[in-house]
Structure 1
Amino acid sequence: MSKSQNTTLPFDALVEVIKGRRSDYGHISGLKLDRAAPGEVWSSLPYRPVFVGDTETGVLHGGVVTAMLDESCGMAVQLALGGTGPIATLDLRIDYQRPATPGLDIKAHSICYRTTHSIAFVRSTAYQESEDDPVATATGCFMIGANRANMLADRATDHRSIPALDAPEDPAGPFVNSPFARCLGIRIQDDGTLMMPFSPKIIGNPILPAIHGGMTGAFLETTAIIGVTRELGTSAPPKPIGLTINYLRSGRALDSFANASIVKQGRRIVAFEAKAWQDDPDKPIASAFGHFMLRPTPGSDEE
């Protein structure tokens, strides 16, 4: 397809194009499109040690689930639209139902249930053995015709050399127990803000290029975990309950920065907000609001 072509492909051909022309991160993560129907996608993500968020439990980083759901929802939207135009995530709400069982693949079922002239609405379920026992659920909105870079029309099927996902050892760093945070290269700066360096492996749209929305979500969630843990002075990281990410600007091929603060604190539940920016803190690329559950203190009552 050329840039000027806007003709809808036959459905089976469109599915094959989507399999070959997705985000850079989607390819190197190993995410597979297993089955498809108009506006509907079943996908799977093989378990990999680099996806772990806490080596003490083996549980996957929440950002891995967020990125998978974002990518899967995007594929469902592309199928609903016939692949005729570029899309971008406007917002994504993730509700974590339970920790993913270590060692098992994750699957997702995503449905684009309504489209308007400019907005697509989608929902998704991440699970392992049964969709009736979800790991997480998501709802989101995508902008239709968000920019002029349609990956399905403008990108060749032969892939460029993209770095592998690895987690460099850092025994003295703050993410010694979080391989996925190390994979993203996240660092804590002297002023307490977090920084995620730009890397080809976190690209979503390779034509712009733009950072994958799921990577921005993973960065914001990591920032919130660090910020809440530091502010409360707790030793154990909190457990994510839910997270809503609002995408405000395209994340360009630049380093990203983020900070987080507590909005409300109870005995067991903490509400937080976080924002990420690149060259100007007053122009955030994304913001997030969510809730964490704190590990119970012996002798205390639940809120």
Structure 2
Amino acid sequence: MSEISTYDGQPLPFDQLAKAIAERRSTYGRASGLRIDRAERGEAWSSLPYQSVFAGDTESGVIHGGVVTAMLDESCGMAVQLALDGSRAIATLDLRIDYQKPAKPGLDIKAHSICYHVTRSIAFVRSTAYQETEQDPVATAAACFMIGANRTNMLQDREAYEVPILDAPEDVSGPFAQSPFARCLGIRVAEDGVLHMPFSPKIIGNPVLPAIHGGITGAFLETTAVVGVARELGIALPPKPIGLTINYLRSGRALDSFANVSIVRQGQRIVAFQAQAWQEDASKPIATAFGHFKLRRAAGKD
């Protein structure tokens, strides 16, 4: 492997670069247990050990779609850093997730991410999440990242910090009683149906700034869409995500976040929605999302 300049202009062999990137993941990534299993130039193979807190529905045990979104976002970021020198801060510009099937409870999730093209300021990535074989995906992703998003050096500008624990406080009567991952993120319904996600160390992506993990913002938008669409349509069963495209407009700072959703188009089986998340000012969103849900039918009904 060739050598890359990272530390004060000194060359860093690729194997050392990969090791440094593996040790300097996001705060949420470390808390979730995400790890790099294999690294090549511009390619990352990662895995996420199963945790009960990842469940989106305790009855079925199916993993929350936001867990997959956050993993794919970070795995794509790893591939970008492995295509660069690892020191430059990157930020997700947009992320598209296509869900092929639900992730099975009790099994690890794996991802293979490839940074296939890099310009001076933008990196393009594609990724596949799977559990048993890459040919049988749980979800696929395509993303664009900004290179040099800020002046921090991701391999140097870091201090030791305590890794937070991902837990899901009990709430037997709340709207997320059956969703441990939503409770883990602290999501709750505020006034006028707006969803509220309080800031906490467990949702940090870049610990230097600090900034909220882009994948967690995506998980928040997806949760908002599921809850809002089900409420708007008056349906008992939550809709099933088909695809979600997230556009990141500005960094999510160390502040509480809010989100709402509107239905763009409704059919008999498919619903198109648009959601947005903001912090201090609803007219200045930090991210927007557009996607489609498949409506679920109760047993015995057409």
TM value normalised by structure 2: 0.96
CA distance in 1, matches of 2:10, 2:284: 36
Counterpart in 2 of 1:112?
115
For the structure 1 residues 270 and 200, does the alpha-carbon distance in structure 2 shift closer, same or farther, using more than 3 Å as the test? Answer: same
Task: Output the amino acid matched with 1:190.
Answer: E
Equivalent-residue separation in structure 1 for 2:124 and 2:10 (angstroms): 22
Q: 2:153 aligns with which of 139, 150, 168?
A: 150
- Aligned residue number for residue 288 of structure 2: 287
Indicate conservation of the 8 Å contact 1:6/1:84, yes or no. Answer: no
The total of aligned residue pairs comes to: 297
State the Cα distance separating 1:19 from its structure 2 match: 1.2
Q: Is the 8 A contact 1:8 1:82 kept in 2?
A: no
**Quick one: which of 68, 71, 76 aligns to 2:74?**
71
Give the alignment of 1:55-134 within 5 angstroms. 55-134=58-137
- In structure 2, give the amino acid aligned to 1:120: A
In 1, the alpha carbon distance for the partners of 2:240 and 2:155 equals: 37
Superposed displacement of residue 162, structure 1: 3.1
Q: How many Å separate the matches in 2 of 1:249 and 1:135?
A: 29
The question of whether the paired residues in 1 share the 8 Å contact of 2:237 and 2:297 is answered with no
Query: Amino acid of the residue matched to residue 38 of structure 2?
Result: R
Matched to 2:284, the amino acid is: K
Pick one of 24, 27, 38 that aligns with 1:24.
Answer: 27
Whichever residue aligns with residue 165 of structure 1, its letter is: L
Q: Give the Å deviation of 1:172.
A: 0.9
Q: Could you say what secondary structure the match of 1:152 adopts?
A: coil
**Which residue does 1:185 correspond to in 2?**
186
**Structure 2: gaps (5+ residues):** 1-5
Contact 2:204-2:210 at 8 Å conserved across structures: yes
Coordinate RMSD, CA, aligned: 1.5
User: Cα 1:6–1:51, aligned 2, differ >3 Å: closer, same or farther?
Assistant: farther
Task: Specify the alignment match of 2:3 in structure 1.
Answer: none
CA contact (8 A) 2:86 2:154 kept: no
2:42 corresponding residue in structure 1: 39
For residues 224-252 of structure 1, the C-alpha deviation after alignment (integer angstroms, 9 at most, x for no partner) is 00100000000000000000000000000
The equivalent residue for 2:227 is: 226
What SS does structure 2 have at the residue aligned with 1:290?
Answer: strand
Aligned counterpart, 2:167:
166
Q: Contact 2:45/2:111 (CA < 8 Å) preserved in 1? A: yes
- Deviation, 1:4, is 7.8
SS in 2 for 1:89: strand
Partner of 1:175: 176
SS of residue matched to 1:201: helix
Equivalent position of 1:275 in the other structure: 276
CA contact (8 A) 1:248 1:285 kept: yes
Q: Structure 1, unaligned stretches of length 5 or more? A: none
Q: 1:11 aligns with which of 6, 9, 14?
A: 14
Which of 46, 51, 54 is the aligned partner of 1:48?
51
SS at match of 1:141: strand
CA distance in 1, matches of 2:11, 2:99: 36
Q: C-alpha deviations, 1:53-87, integer Å up to 9, x for none?
A: 01111100000000000000000000001214111
The AA in structure 2 aligned to 1:238 is: P
Tell me what 1:244 maps to: 245
**CA distance in 1: counterparts of 2:284 and 2:7, whole angstroms:** 33
Tell me the SS of whatever aligns to 1:28. helix
One-letter amino acid of the structure 2 residue matched with residue 28 of structure 1: A
